[in-house]
């Protein structure tokens, strides 16, 4: 399983099929599927920016690095992995 979940005690934030988020002194619940897509999006952007930096692409002056189809494909595939891991933790408290 992903070390991030184990180290962050994600089990403490899973309720049924939702993730508890404490935001601005309010508690919100987000479905695991939606949370997983957000995590995948953030990971995808981080990977792209790291690669752009390695290739010395200026991401603020050029949009040639933006490939929506590839980003969507990455999100779809990676979010399935997150869903599987989060569902596992929800079922094995």
Reduce the secondary structure of 40-78 to three states and give it as a string: HHHHHHHHHHHHHHHCCCCCCCCCCCCCHHHHHHHHHHH
Q: pLDDT (tens digit, 9 = 90+) per residue, 41-63?
A: 999 999 988 988 898 888 888 78
Q: Where are the domains of the chain?
A: 3-91
pLDDT value of position 2: 44
pLDDT higher than threshold 60 for residue 1: no
pLDDT higher than threshold 80 for residue 72: yes
Q: Confirm whether pTM is higher than 0.85.
A: no
pLDDT higher than threshold 90 for residue 34: yes
pLDDT higher than threshold 90 for residue 39: yes
Closest-CA residue to 2 (of 88, 73, 72, 93): 88
């Amino acid at each position: 399983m992903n070390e991030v979940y184990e180290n962050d005690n994600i089990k403490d934030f899973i309720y049924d099929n939702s993730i508890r988020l404490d935001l601005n002194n309010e508690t919100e619940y987000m479905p695991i599927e939606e949370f997983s897509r957000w995590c995948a999006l953030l990971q995808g952007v981080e990977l792209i920016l790291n690669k752009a930096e390695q290739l010395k692409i200026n991401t603020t002056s050029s949009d040639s690095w933006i490939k929506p189809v590839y980003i969507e494909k990455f999100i779809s595939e990676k979010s399935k992995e997150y869903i599987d891991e989060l569902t596992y933790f929800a079922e094995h408290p």
